[in-house]
Amino acid sequence: MSLKFGTDGIRGPVESLITPEACLKIGYATGRVMKELGWETVVIGKDTRISGYMLESALQAGFISSGVNVQLAGPLPTPGVAYLTKTLRNKFGVVISASHNDFLDNGIKIFNDNGEKISRDIERRIEKYIKSKIIPVETSKIGKAYRFDESGPRYIEFCKSIVPSNISFSSLRIVIDCANGACYKVSPKVFEELGAEVIIIGNEPDGYNINKGCGSTNPDLIRTNVVKHRADYGISLDGDGDRVIIADQRGELLDGDDLLYILAFSNPNRTGPWSGVVGTKMSNLGLEEGIKKLGYKFVRADVGDKHVSEALLKHGWMLGGETSGHIICKDLVSTGDGTIAALKVISSLLILDKKPSDVLSNYTKIPQINKNINVKNKDIVNDKELKSLIKSIESDITVGRVLVRPSGTESKIRIMIEAQEERVAEKFSEDILKIIESKS
């Protein structure tokens, strides 16, 4: 069985890759490795996909057969599972989710006992056991499973606790788009219990509509609803709640770069753990320049909040994120958390008594064009003709950066070009798109 970890766990179509058999294998293999590391219990959460219950059962059986006990948290945001693995002690966590993908896909994300994505070394050990035959432990040593009904309330209380007690949301009207995903119950309650007037959309999951025309990958919905309801903010989460896009009262969208800048701007301490910010290869060049002007160092990690987290750990810093909306406030959470990021951004703006536009006027983005193309073989990125074209584009003095990379979560090639003029970036991105299409 060819199951490999990608940018964010193991992900793919339910019908061909993330099958019940695959999840049985993954559960058994992961259980074997975690037992070797001294962890006896796993917390399993999931999003709202129709395949979730089926895969949860198979995964559970795999863990139990390896002698690992299972706590079933039910639908819960990915960062909620990460939080529980850290606070419940000596446990690891698994999330059944394909994040921002549609319902046809699903996947497995794994956290260590510190609430962080597991290392590549642990991933390799799991991949090795996936290839082996399932040999259950002695009957007297098989694991047990039970429901953990407190998961949602615990996560809600944690989210509320990060807002200073002297900050009130009672004057705010906030629209929250839950993407018909894992946040549909918990995230609205967080903001309601902090006093905000909350208008909820994308909170009627049916197993098939996760991320469909809603959520952080479809931000026009939140933009429209903020203007319609004359709200102060719009919060658009993705299917598993680890990323967020925010709309201001004018309906202007704030991506992960904007949110990072607001958090960096609002932080008065820029020494030690707060001396640097981590972005990714996709982060806008304007963000890098803006962050440096604020007095921070800035480094780029590979795409994926796991890589951002690793870079933060390496440098001993506390703030990082991705343009897509994965924001990691390392002093509060161990992974990308859309709800926490939104709380932190809105709290910071209330403390500053500023609108997002007031803060963001202090930095200027470089025009950036992003395109995606579906492919059967992602190795096209190594094509000689394509590489020659990219090199030619990079030699143009009006072009800042060119990045053509295979997606780590989908069968797509992602194209990003920054240039001094948007029309130039648009033209070159089309040139790259055409050559990939001709070879697909």
Annotation: binding site: 99, 238, 240, 242
91-96 vs 41-46, strand pairing mode: parallel
* Structure-block tokens of residue 135: 């040999």
- Binding residues for Mg(2+), as ranges, are 99, 238, 240, 242
235 CB-near residues (< 8 Å, 6+ apart):
174, 175, 176, 177, 187, 191, 222, 244, 246, 338, 342
3-state secondary structure the chain: CCCCCECCEEEEECCCCCCHHHHHHHHHHHHHHHHHCCCCEEEEEECCCCCHHHHHHHHHHHHHHCCCEEEEEEECCHHHHHHHHHHCCCEEEEEECCCCCCCCEEEEEEECCCCCECCHHHHHHHHHHHCCCCCCCCHHHCCCEEECCCHHHHHHHHHHHCCCCCCCCCCCEEEEECCCCCCCCHHHHHHHHCCCEEEEECCCCCCCCCCCCCCCCCCHHHHHHHHHCCCCEEEEECCCCCCEEEECCCCCEECHHHHHHHHHHHCCCCCHHHCEEEEECCCCHHHHHHHHHCCCEEEEECCCHHHHHHHHHHHCCCEEECCCCCEEECCCCCCCCHHHHHHHHHHHHHHHCCCHHHHHCCCCCCCEEEEEEECCCHHHHHCHHHHHHHHHHHCCCCEEEEEEEECCCCCEEEEEEEECCHHHHHHHHHHHHHHHHHHC
161 CB-near residues (< 8 Å, 6+ apart):
none
Q: Tell me, yes or no, if 388 is annotated catalytic.
A: no
* Structure-block tokens of residue 94: 């698994």
* Structure-block tokens of residue 343: 């709380």
CB 125: neighbour CB atoms within 10 A? 19
Out of 99, 187, 334, 348, the active site residue is 99
d(CA 177, CA 216): 8
CB 229: neighbour CB atoms within 10 A? 15
Active site residues: 99
